[in-house]
Structure 1
Amino acid sequence: MHFFRQVYLFLMASARAHARWEMEVSDTILRSKKRLFLLFLLMLPILLVSGVEAAEFLGGKTAYAPSFYSTQVFVASIFIGLIAGLITGCIGAGGGFIITPALMAAGIKGILAVGTDLFHIFAKAIMGTTVHKKLGNVSVKLALGFLAGASIGTFIGGAINKGLYDLNPLLSEAFISGVYSILLGFLGFYALLDFIRLSRTPRQVGSDVGDSPHGAEMTSGKVGLPARLQSMKVPPMITFDEDLVPGGKSISGWIVAAGGLVVGMLAAIMGVGGGFVTFPMFVYVFGVSSMTTVGTDILQIIFTAGLAAIAQYAIYGYVFYTLAMGMLLGSLLGIQVGALTTKVVKGIYIRGFYAVAILAGFINRAATLPRKLVDLDVIQLPMGFVVGLEYVGNVLFWFAVGLFGLWIFSKFFANLKTFRQEA
């Protein structure tokens, strides 16, 4: 049980690190007229063909339906981005885990949902990341070793998804749904346990972002796994944190590249950019300081998401451009609303809704598996039963995330006067 608890803490640290990046990017874009103009240019092709099917964008008719533009699909993508942004802004974690399952729940093919999510992250990264402010904290050798592994990982992950789709589209759908069922089920279960535990001693206001006890339960580099890995002197050795530790720390480049390989594979398979794993991997596994990790993580997200989105999905027609832009637009709004709402809502309530939203995503993906397995002739069940199960899973998911969104917006509008006074 202790092992699974540590895995949960690792994943939550991952989600929080990625959420911090998402919120920084959102602030950077919305506070810059140049970046807002760039966003308008990205949206312009969609606006020009409003109400008309247009299939010649990235992810056109060579991709797999629904890959054409329609107003309804675009609105749905904004809603998905909005919900993910609300979760990120409110909880400071986990919003990115919802996007691919939500796209699949909206009827988008799994491989197209993964590619589109990656492209959305890449577009957000190149628009909003203030790299020049962070480069002073980047260990170039560490970054090169990590990205060498990440680049290979993106090709392996992309090859797995494309190979499964070419073999049988249903197999690809079942694989992606299965991966998300395991991840969301694990996170949702522990998030619910945390909610129950914290509900006995609730905080007054806020979402506990940044002050969670989780960090205290994990070692950050002086003992444990980081110390053992740093003691393995397998050349080439990479030295880092020279400014913080006399003589610096060192770790084998092969270990760093192996970590990059894992991150690249996860990014290409799940469509989450890889950044959600990099931060805790550097801090809690490699023993790198948080200062050095931040800059390297920013470069990693841009490189990994861009390579996976373009080289593994877009060139094969697996990116739905209009969906990506809609999600970007919705997430920018959702993050800002969610972050403001944490000032007036008790964190325990937000944690409860977060657990429900994640579990709803788990139920949604898990409920689709029986039908896919029946269609693949792996199991035998009545078709009426598996179709009904899939329908119930879909209804529960949209009801849960919709209720979460309505609750957050009701709190936001009810406290507009307070927000204006603070501003």
Structure 2
Amino acid sequence: MGFGRQVFEFLKQASIAHAKWDMEMSLSILRSRKKLAILGLMVLPILLINFAFAADMIGSKTAYAPAFYTNTIFVVSIFVGLAAGLITGCIGAGGGFIITPALMAAGVKGILAVGTDLFHIFAKAIMGTAVHKKLGNVSVKLAIAFLVGSGVGTVIGGAINTGLYNKDPLLSEMFISTIYAVLLGFLGFYALFDYLSASRKGETGSGHDAHGGASGSTGLATTVQKIRLAPMITFDEDFVPGGKQISGWIVAAGGMVVGILAAIMGVGGGFVTFPMFVYIFGVSSMTTVGTDILQIIFTAGLAAVGQYAIYGYVFYTLAMGMLIGSLLGIQVGALTTKVVKGIHIRGFYAISIIAGFINRISVLPKKMVELEMVKIDMGLCNQIEFVGNIIFWIVVAFFGFWIFSKFFGNLGKLRQEA
């Protein structure tokens, strides 16, 4: 397997693992009347305040408001969450990757979109986690080393984003858009090639198991575990006689990478934790699940509050709107998988990710001209950006229409199965 293919498989498993976590958190909230009541109590005062002072109050600092803010952007946030939830629930991957690009496409500044997405993830993690059910196999030493690293990483990632924004907001916009363009482009086109290959072979499976994959050590994990750099951490004693060992410095370095990604991209960092632990560190799936829950709460919370909220880079109304929309979307999407073909799901996954890539790459020419990096006609740049936005929203709208049509068209069948 080539290096590019290995990277794609790693990122694909990361995307699937994040979707698995998102679905577990959302269903935990939806199945609890108490949690739904708490959500209502959280949303109500935020809505009242923002609807009363919409022109003046966003993240406590008017300067950081999205362009042309109106109350309708709250409705937009619900649809953004709904779209992400539909993709997560139906496809089992990729939904979390479109939230920040979608918010930016709706006119929210990049740094505010990242901070808001992080806060939305943090709120969902706190509300949805049944910690006592998941922490039985957590390695405390692994968790501590990883969280120390992720804490440092959030400071670094937050400093990069805020530093660029303070130097020039256009630099921040361009940086975030470039990061997403590279990630979504790589994932999207590889997924498209996979889909076309599967179509030619007549495959129908969806590859929906988010926590599938090896539970033992891969070749890379075996090599990593041979690095004897004190302090050494012993883990998985319940699964392997005598347990396995890995350097705490390596675990902390992995945590730092996750923290940096979380603070820069706004996806919580959890999307790479599972494949990192399983495929690089060689940790069992059972141990990884509990540690992943801890790190998402810690990393997303530290980044959202410590790196963004205190500077006014969190738009609380949008965070709550996305949370509401995603809960509905995940429920509908998960049910719809029972009545649609897996090959169609794989196709829509590729198309939705590529649409996000097109949306983010279409804004780069304009940003480069505004930063005086290149000389291109601004009218042409505006047209490119407009086309990129239109393509993105058309794909998202069509996907949503397709899912809901399948859902309502098969409602009787779904009720019988329930």
The TM tier, using the shorter chain, reads over 0.9
Tell me, in whole angstroms, the C-alpha distance in 1 between the residues paired with 2:13 and 2:90: 15
Mapped contact 1:78–1:326 kept (Cα < 8 A)? yes
Tell me, in whole angstroms, the C-alpha distance in 1 between the residues paired with 2:161 and 2:100: 14
Number of the residue aligned with 1:59: 59
Percent of aligned pairs with the same amino acid: 70
Number of the residue aligned with 2:326: 331
Alignment partner of 1:208 is 2:214: no
Tell me, in whole angstroms, the C-alpha distance in 1 between the residues paired with 2:174 and 2:305: 24
Mapped contact 1:55–1:67 kept (Cα < 8 A)? no
Which runs of structure 1 show a deviation greater than 4 angstroms over 4 or more consecutive aligned residues? 55-58
Deviations 1:261-280 (A, max 9, x none): 00000000000000000000
Tell me, in whole angstroms, the C-alpha distance in 1 between the residues paired with 2:163 and 2:207: 42
Listed as ranges, the matches of 1:21-420 within 5 Å are 21-49=21-49, 51-54=51-54, 59-62=59-62, 64-66=64-66, 70-203=70-203, 207-210=206-209, 215=213, 221-420=216-415
Instruction: Give the secondary-structure state (helix, strand or coil) at the position aligned to 1:310.
Output: helix
Mapped contact 2:20–2:210 kept (Cα < 8 A)? no
Tell me, in whole angstroms, the C-alpha distance in 2 between the residues paired with 1:327 and 1:264: 22
Write the letter of the residue equivalent to 2:283.
V
Instruction: Give the secondary-structure state (helix, strand or coil) at the position aligned to 2:191.
Output: helix
Tell me, in whole angstroms, the C-alpha distance in 2 between the residues paired with 1:62 and 1:253: 43
Instruction: Give the secondary-structure state (helix, strand or coil) at the position aligned to 2:234.
Output: strand
Tell me, in whole angstroms, the C-alpha distance in 2 between the residues paired with 1:412 and 1:293: 34
Q: Please report how far the alpha carbon of residue 349 of structure 1 lies from its aligned counterpart in structure 2 after TM superposition.
A: 1.1
Mapped contact 1:221–1:285 kept (Cα < 8 A)? no
Write the letter of the residue equivalent to 1:97.
F
Q: Please report how far the alpha carbon of residue 57 of structure 1 lies from its aligned counterpart in structure 2 after TM superposition.
A: 6.4
Mapped contact 2:217–2:283 kept (Cα < 8 A)? no
Tell me, in whole angstroms, the C-alpha distance in 1 between the residues paired with 2:23 and 2:380: 42
Tell me, in whole angstroms, the C-alpha distance in 1 between the residues paired with 2:210 and 2:229: 37
Tell me, in whole angstroms, the C-alpha distance in 1 between the residues paired with 2:176 and 2:145: 29
Tell me, in whole angstroms, the C-alpha distance in 2 between the residues paired with 1:226 and 1:375: 45
Mapped contact 1:58–1:314 kept (Cα < 8 A)? no
Deviations 1:281-336 (A, max 9, x none): 00000000000000000000000000000000000000000000000000000001
Mapped contact 1:8–1:187 kept (Cα < 8 A)? yes
- Of the structure 1 ranges 5-14 and 59-68, higher mean CA displacement relative to structure 2 is found in 59-68
Which stretches in structure 1 are left out of the alignment for 5+ residues?
none
Instruction: Give the secondary-structure state (helix, strand or coil) at the position aligned to 1:251.
Output: strand
Q: Please report how far the alpha carbon of residue 65 of structure 1 lies from its aligned counterpart in structure 2 after TM superposition.
A: 1.9
Tell me, in whole angstroms, the C-alpha distance in 1 between the residues paired with 2:210 and 2:294: 26
What TM-score results when the alignment is normalised by the length of structure 1? 0.95
Mapped contact 2:92–2:210 kept (Cα < 8 A)? no
What TM-score results when the alignment is normalised by the length of structure 2? 0.96
* Pair 308,50 (structure 1): closer, same or farther in 2 beyond 3 Å: closer
Number of the residue aligned with 2:3: 3
Instruction: Give the secondary-structure state (helix, strand or coil) at the position aligned to 2:362.
Output: helix
Tell me, in whole angstroms, the C-alpha distance in 2 between the residues paired with 1:86 and 1:257: 34
Give the length in aligned residue pairs.
Answer: 418
Tell me, in whole angstroms, the C-alpha distance in 2 between the residues paired with 1:306 and 1:48: 24
Tell me, in whole angstroms, the C-alpha distance in 2 between the residues paired with 1:313 and 1:144: 24
Write the letter of the residue equivalent to 1:290.
S
Write the letter of the residue equivalent to 1:104.
M
* Pair 58,382 (structure 1): closer, same or farther in 2 beyond 3 Å: closer
- Of the structure 1 ranges 54-63 and 355-364, higher mean CA displacement relative to structure 2 is found in 54-63
Mapped contact 1:67–1:320 kept (Cα < 8 A)? no
Tell me, in whole angstroms, the C-alpha distance in 1 between the residues paired with 2:332 and 2:392: 21
Q: Please report how far the alpha carbon of residue 60 of structure 1 lies from its aligned counterpart in structure 2 after TM superposition.
A: 2.5
Which stretches in structure 2 are left out of the alignment for 5+ residues?
none
Mapped contact 1:240–1:248 kept (Cα < 8 A)? yes
Tell me, in whole angstroms, the C-alpha distance in 2 between the residues paired with 1:35 and 1:242: 35
* Pair 211,297 (structure 1): closer, same or farther in 2 beyond 3 Å: closer
Deviations 1:346-376 (A, max 9, x none): 1111211121111111011001000000000
Instruction: Give the secondary-structure state (helix, strand or coil) at the position aligned to 1:343.
Output: coil
Write the letter of the residue equivalent to 1:208.
G
Tell me, in whole angstroms, the C-alpha distance in 2 between the residues paired with 1:91 and 1:149: 31
Alignment partner of 1:17 is 2:7: no
Mapped contact 1:221–1:286 kept (Cα < 8 A)? no
* Pair 55,287 (structure 1): closer, same or farther in 2 beyond 3 Å: farther
Write the letter of the residue equivalent to 1:175.
F
Instruction: Give the secondary-structure state (helix, strand or coil) at the position aligned to 2:233.
Output: strand
Write the letter of the residue equivalent to 1:188.
G
